[in-house]
Amino acid sequence: MTARRIRGAAVTAAMTVAVAACSAPGDTAGDGRAAESVVIGVASEPDTLSPLLGYGKDGNSKIFDGLLARDAGLKLKPALAAALPKVADGGRTYTFTLREGVKFSDGEPLTADDVVYTYRTVLDARTNNTAKSELDAVKSVRADGDDTVVFTLKYPYAPFAARTVLPIVPEHIAAKQDPNTGSLNTEPVGTGPYVLAQWRKGEKLTFKANPHYWGPAPKVKTFTMAVIADDDVRATRLRSGDLDGAVLPPNLAATFGRDNDKRTYEAKSYDFRAVTLPTGNEVTGDRAVRQALDAAVDRQAMVDKILDGAGRPAYGPLPMDDPYFADGIQRAHDLAKAQRILDRAGWKPGDDGIRAKNGRRAAFTLLYPSGDKVRQDHALAYASDAKKAGIDVTVESATWEVIEPRMGKDAVLAGFGSVGDPDFGLYTLLHSSLAGDGFNNMARYRDPAVDKALDTGRRTQAPAERKAAYGTLQRALVDNPGYTFLTHIDHLYVLADRWDGLTTQLEPHEHGFASGPWWNIEDWQSKR
């Protein structure tokens, strides 16, 4: 992914997280001292900064490191491990040797016991980590001396090495606490290039360089993540000079098109927008309604009008350029087909054009998170398309605190997507064993063919078998949709042009605190 100058209104982005970099009053763009401090605006803050509860599980945390990390091209490289793992026993044993001389930010040395403690605690049923199913393959983890860690798997799990980007916590601190409520959640101690200096909930998180960091000292000495939930507020703060960079929806990003002192950084992503269709709802629980909505939605129009081309139609959870994408599942907007499906299923149009069956109107509520303009626009477009087929969708904004307890009955304009392997993200999105497990399987989706495909993809290393399994899964989702997949979104970041070394990666849904041009902020160099 490359950087380019912002030129005109065509430069846009569709994102849920805002980014900004600004200097202190009186600083100038090329000043080296100014470039030592960065402010990044984000739309939300994490609930916890503890890896034991899921923080940083996909890598790129600035406070912690995993055994492995990813480079700009997502290739795995050693981090806390001295080298890539030695794999034996047909893919059932992974052995890591730790890097020498690594210390936590409190000055205590890293040992193999810290790694063992981290993984065992994440996998402990008493730990409230909703992502523990991602480590299902782990049978045991043990230390072999101070510098060697051995993982034994229940079955060969092809992408296991990529799971070891999981951040490592210090046993000497964490073991004295309840992982669910302890101070590590808000006062993290790690091995990463930065330490948390201050967290003012709902306002900002400030980080400073870790003096005990095992790698080169960061050139950017401090950075702040300012929590700015509303898109319009971010744009206003950007224009006022309070921020000198931001990530904004297309219509707002276009208003900064002539600012030549900023650069944009574009990233392709696996981030998709989809509408959850809960099977517990008396309308969306009808497969015919779900199939009709899939046919009625105009995905390309959403890409063109909402994303201004900064994305692609989503025909399932995997983008079309993914090697596991099932070619042939692409489908056109077909309102006539949607109407035929509903007619056959007994949903008949009323005088107002809205269909009904056995006295029940084809109507449901679609929730989206407040302040998210991109999701709002998707939701409104979806409701408009649905109404043409005779389905009445009421769009409603709410906070996630309001949305979460309603997910079992109401539809949600949701965002998901993970990089690295199809198992990453698909299992938690679709497997019936995780239906209603927090934000996992939000649609409460259940399909035996999909479960079988997920289990096969997870438990075999044979590439052809994995590809066949995920192809079966994607075709099953067309026949029995639990979500209406809408768009895959390109991420676009705007920052003041004060640094060299900024790049982006292929990104997951989650971005802001991890993904973005600041995935390697410790390597940035100021422009002189």
Q: Are 257 and 7 in contact (CB under 8 A)?
A: yes
Residue finishing a domain among 156, 185, 214: 185
The answer, yes or no, to whether residue 362 has pLDDT greater than 90, is: yes
CATH number at residue 453: 3.10.105.10
Q: Are 367 and 403 in contact (CB under 8 A)?
A: yes
Arithmetic mean of pLDDT over the chain? 90
Residue 299 within any structural domain of the chain:
yes
Strand order across the 204-209 sheet: 37-42, 222-227, 204-209, 194-200
**Amino acid at position 500, single letter:** D
Residues 220-243: what's their mean pLDDT?
A: 83
Task: Give the 3-state DSSP-derived string for 474-485, with helices as H, strands as E and coil as C.
Answer: HHHHHHCCCEEE
Residue 196 within any structural domain of the chain:
no
Which tokens is 397 given? 């904004």
pLDDT of amino acid 226: 85
- pLDDT tens, residue by residue, 306-361: 998 989 999 999 999 999 999 999 999 999 999 999 999 999 999 999 999 999 99
Same domain, 413 and 517: no
Residue 63 within any structural domain of the chain:
yes
Percent of the chain topping pLDDT 70:
92
- pLDDT tens, residue by residue, 48-59: 999 999 999 998
Residue 190 within any structural domain of the chain:
no
Residues 98-103: what's their mean pLDDT?
A: 98
CATH number at residue 170: 3.90.76.10
Same domain, 261 and 276: no
Q: Which of 23-37, 112-126, 131-145 has the lowest mean pLDDT?
A: 23-37
Taking the chain, what is the end-to-end CA distance rounded to the nearest angstrom? 24
Domain count, the chain: 3
Backbone angles phi, psi at 76, to 5 degrees: -70, 140
pLDDT band at 34 (very low <50, low <70, confident <90, very high): low
Structure letter (DSSP) for residue 98: B
Same domain, 265 and 293: no
Which tokens is 195 given? 């330490």
Same domain, 229 and 289: no
pLDDT band at 245 (very low <50, low <70, confident <90, very high): low
| Cβ neighbourhood burial of 271 (10 Å; 0-12, 13-18, 19+) | buried
Same domain, 56 and 137: yes
Residue 193 within any structural domain of the chain:
no
- pLDDT tens, residue by residue, 461-497: 999 999 999 999 999 999 999 999 999 998 888 888 8
Residue 12 within any structural domain of the chain:
yes
pLDDT of amino acid 194: 97
Same domain, 355 and 392: yes
Q: Which of 36-40, 99-103, 195-199, 407-411 has the lowest mean pLDDT?
A: 36-40
Residue 194 within any structural domain of the chain:
no
pLDDT of amino acid 264: 78
Q: Please state the separation of Cα 239 from the chain's center in Å.
A: 28
Which tokens is 75 given? 């290739």
pLDDT of amino acid 512: 65
Residues 278-303: what's their mean pLDDT?
A: 97
241-268 exposure pattern, b = at least 16 Cβ within 10 A, e = fewer: ebbbbbbbbbebbbebeebeebbbbbbb
Residues 80-103: what's their mean pLDDT?
A: 97
Candidates 164, 165, 204, 205; CA nearest to 188 is: 205
pLDDT of amino acid 14: 32
| Cα 490 from Cα 521, distance rounded (Å) | 21
Which tokens is 345 given? 């299923």
Q: Are 55 and 77 in contact (CB under 8 A)?
A: no
CATH number at residue 213: 3.40.190.10
Q: Are 374 and 491 in contact (CB under 8 A)?
A: no
Same domain, 253 and 316: no
Q: Which of 80-94, 171-185, 241-255, 441-455 has the lowest mean pLDDT?
A: 241-255
Same domain, 382 and 499: no
8-23 exposure pattern, b = at least 16 Cβ within 10 A, e = fewer: eeebbbbbbbbbbbbb
Which tokens is 170 given? 């210090």
Same domain, 507 and 433: no
Parent domain of 512:
3-45+201-269+490-526
H/E stretch holding 459 = helix 448-459
Same domain, 170 and 242: no
Same domain, 335 and 431: yes
Residue 501 within any structural domain of the chain:
yes
| Cα 432 from Cα 440, distance rounded (Å) | 10
The answer, yes or no, to whether residue 22 has pLDDT greater than 90, is: no
Same domain, 507 and 471: no
Residues 56-81: what's their mean pLDDT?
A: 95
Residues 279-288: what's their mean pLDDT?
A: 96
